[in-house]
C-alpha cells in the first residue's frame, strides 16, 4: 500500500482502477500526501497491536483512521478552510470513538483493547484479565459511558462545520452524523453492554434520528454554532489541518461548483440503504472474521469511507 501511495503521488499510479482514480482525485482536489499517509499509519498501529494509555492517544489513532477520511471528503466537496477541516476531523474521530464503544466485546475476543488504559485503571479493571475473559461489569459500563460522552462532544463540534459545505452536500453529512451517533444511543439503551451484544440501530430509530437532526439547526442554535466553528482543532487533528493549509492549490486543480445530487429525501434514502448494506455485510462476515487487527480495521475503514 505504501508503494502504491508513493507511485500515485509521483504521478505514476500502478495499473489498478482504484489507483488511477485516486491519482485523478489527488490532483483535481489538491489532497496533500500527509492525509492518506496518516491513514496508512493508522493501519500500521493496528498491525502492531498498539494500545492507548489515555484519551489523547486514542484520539490520535482516531485522527489517522477516521479524521483523515473527514478531511479528504471535505476537500472533495470543495471546501479548504481550516475551520471547516477541523470540524470534519472532529466528526471523523467521534465516529471512530463510537465504533470502539460499540465493539468492546468483539475487540477483546480478538485480543485487542482500544479503551483508554488509564480509565480502566481508574475503574479498577485489570486489562489482562479482561482480555482473557471479556465480562460485562458496572466498571466496564462506566468506561464505555465516558467514551460515548467524549464522542458526543466531538459530534457537537463536528456538526457545526456542516454549514460550511455546499448546500447539496449538507443533508447527507448531517444524516451520516445522526445515524452514527445513534449507535451510541443504542449502546446506552442496551445498558452500555457492548460485551454480550452489538448495538444495531433499527430502521424506525434511524428515521427518528434523521427527523430530529433536521430540527436541530434553528436560528438560535446557529449563533452558538458559529462560535464553535472557529474553535482550535482537536490537538490530535492539528497536523491534518496544517497539512492542507500548507499545501498549495495547484493551477490544474478544479474546485467543484454545484453538486447536483438529486432531491434530499432521495439522498437520505440512499444513505439509509448504504448503512443497511454495510450492516448486512458485517453480520455475514462475522462468523468467519479473522482475528488480525488489519482485517478488523479494514472493516472500520469501509464504514468510514461509506
Q: What is the pTM of this model?
A: 0.79
Quote the pLDDT of residue 212.
Answer: 65
Measured distance CA(198)–CA(201) in Å, rounded? 10
pLDDT at 280 over 80: no
Measured distance CA(206)–CA(183) in Å, rounded? 10
Q: What is the secondary structure of 74-93 as a DSSP string?
A: HHHTT---HHHHHHHHHHHH
Quote the pLDDT of residue 63.
Answer: 98
When comparing pLDDT for 30 and 200, which is higher? 30
pLDDT at 187 over 80: yes
State the average pLDDT for the chain: 82
- pLDDT confidence bin for 83, thresholds 50/70/90: very high
Taking residue 29's Cβ as centre, other Cβ atoms within 10 Å add up to 20
When comparing pLDDT for 78 and 283, which is higher? 78
pLDDT at 124 over 70: yes
Quote the pLDDT of residue 26.
Answer: 95
Burial pattern 61-94, b for ≥16 Cβ within 10 A else e, equals: bbbbbbbbbbbbbbbebbbbeebbbbbbbbbbbb
Amino acid at each position: 500500500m505504501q508503494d502504491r501511495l508513493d507511485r500515485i503521488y509521483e504521478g505514476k499510479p500502478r495499473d489498478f482502477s482504484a489507483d488511477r482514480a485516486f491519482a485523478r482525485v489527488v490532483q483535481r482536489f489538491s489532497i496533500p500526501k500527509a492525509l492518506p499517509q496518516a491513514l496508512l499509519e493508522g493501519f500500521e498501529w493496528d498491525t502492531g497491536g498498539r494500545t492507548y494509555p489515555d484519551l489523547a492517544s486514542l484520539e490520535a489513532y482516531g485522527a489517522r483512521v477516521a479524521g483523515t477520511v473527514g478531511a479528504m471528503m471535505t476537500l472533495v466537496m470543495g471546501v479548504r478552510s481550516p475551520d471547516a477541516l477541523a470540524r470534519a476531523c472532529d466528526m471523523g474521530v467521534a465516529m471512530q470513538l463510537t465504533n470502539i464503544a460499540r465493539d468492546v466485546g468483539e475487540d477483546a475476543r480478538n485480543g485487542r483493547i482500544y479503551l483508554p488504559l488509564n480509565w480502566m485503571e481508574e475503574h479498577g479493571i485489570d486489562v489482562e484479565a479482561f482480555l482473557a475473559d471479556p465480562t460485562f461489569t458496572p466498571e466496564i459500563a462506566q468506561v464505555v459511558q465516558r467514551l460515548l460522552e467524549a464522542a458526543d462532544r466531538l459530534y457537537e463540534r463536528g456538526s457545526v462545520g456542516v454549514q460550511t459545505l455546499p448546500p447539496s452536500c449538507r443533508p447527507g453529512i448531517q444524516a451520516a452524523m445522526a445515524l452514527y451517533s445513534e449507535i451510541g444511543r443504542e449502546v446506552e439503551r442496551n445498558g452500555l453492554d457492548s460485551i454480550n451484544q452489538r448495538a444495531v440501530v433499527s430502521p424506525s430509530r434511524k428515521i427518528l434520528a434523521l427527523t430530529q437532526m433536521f430540527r436541530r439547526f434553528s436560528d438560535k442554535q446557529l449563533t452558538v454554532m458559529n462560535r464553535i466553528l472557529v474553535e482550535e482543532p482537536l490537538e490530535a487533528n492539528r497536523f491534518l489541518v496544517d497539512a492542507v493549509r500548507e499545501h498549495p492549490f495547484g493551477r490544474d486543480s478544479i474546485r467543484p461548483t454545484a453538486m447536483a445530487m438529486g432531491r434530499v429525501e432521495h439522498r437520505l434514502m440512499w444513505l439509509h440503504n448504504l448503512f443497511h448494506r454495510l450492516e448486512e455485510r458485517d453480520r455475514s462476515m462475522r462468523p468467519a472474521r479473522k482475528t488480525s487487527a488489519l482485517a478488523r480495521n479494514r472493516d472500520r475503514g469501509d464504514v468510514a469511507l461509506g
